[in-house]
Chains A and B, each alone.
Chain A
Amino acid sequence: TQLLEQSPQFLSIQEGENLTVYCNSSSVFSSLQWYRQEPGEGPVLLVTVVTGGEVKKLKRLTFQFGDARKDSSLHITAAQPGDTGLYLCAGASDAGGTSYGKLTFGQGTILTVHP
Chain B
Amino acid sequence: GAGVSQSPRYKVAKRGQDVALRCDPISGHVSLFWYQQALGQGPEFLTYFQNEAQLDKSGLPSDRFFAERPEGSVSTLKIQRTQQEDSAVYLCASSLGTGRDRYEQYFGPGTRLTVT
Using a CB–CB distance below 8 Å, which chain A residues touch chain B? 4, 6, 30-31, 33, 35, 40-45, 48, 50, 88, 90, 92, 98-108, 110
Contacts and interface: CB of A to CB of B under 8 A. Distances in A.
Contact of B33 (A41, A48, A103, A110): A103
Interface residues of B, number: 28
A107 B44 CA distance: 10
A100 B44 contact: no
B76 to A, nearest CB: 18
Contacts of B82: none
Contacts of A31: 100, 103
Contacts, number: 74
A4 B43 CA distance: 12
A101 B50 CA distance: 11
Interface stretch (B14-22, B65-73, B105-113): B105-113
B104 A45 contact: yes
A42 B108 contact: yes
A110 B109 contact: no
